[in-house]
Homo-oligomer: A and B are copies of this chain.
Amino acid sequence: MNGAEYLLFILMLSVFLGFELINKVPATLHTPLMSGANAISGITVVGAIALAGTGDADLAQWLGAGAVALASVNVVGGYMVTDRMLGFFKKKES
Binary CB contact string for chain A from 4 to 31 against chain B (1 if under 8 A, 0 otherwise)? 0011011001101100110000000000
> How big is the A interface, by class?
10 to 19
Name the residue of chain B whose CB is nearest to the CB of A11.
B13
A50 to chain B, nearest CB (A): 11
In the bound complex, residues from chain B placing their C-beta under 8 Å from that of A17 are: 13, 16-17, 20
Chain B proximity of A94: nearest CB distance (Å): 29
Q: Which residues of B contact A13 (CB under 8 A)?
A: 10, 13-14, 17
Cβ of A67 to closest chain B Cβ, rounded Å: 20
Closest 6 CB pairs of A and B: A6-B6, A13-B13, A20-B20, A9-B10, A17-B17, A16-B17
Compute how far the CA of A13 lies from the CA of B9 in the bound complex, rounded to whole angstroms: 10
Q: List 17 A-B contacts (CB under 8 A).
A: A1-B3, A3-B6, A6-B6, A6-B7, A6-B9, A6-B10, A9-B10, A10-B10, A10-B13, A13-B13, A13-B14, A13-B17, A16-B17, A17-B17, A17-B20, A20-B20, A20-B21
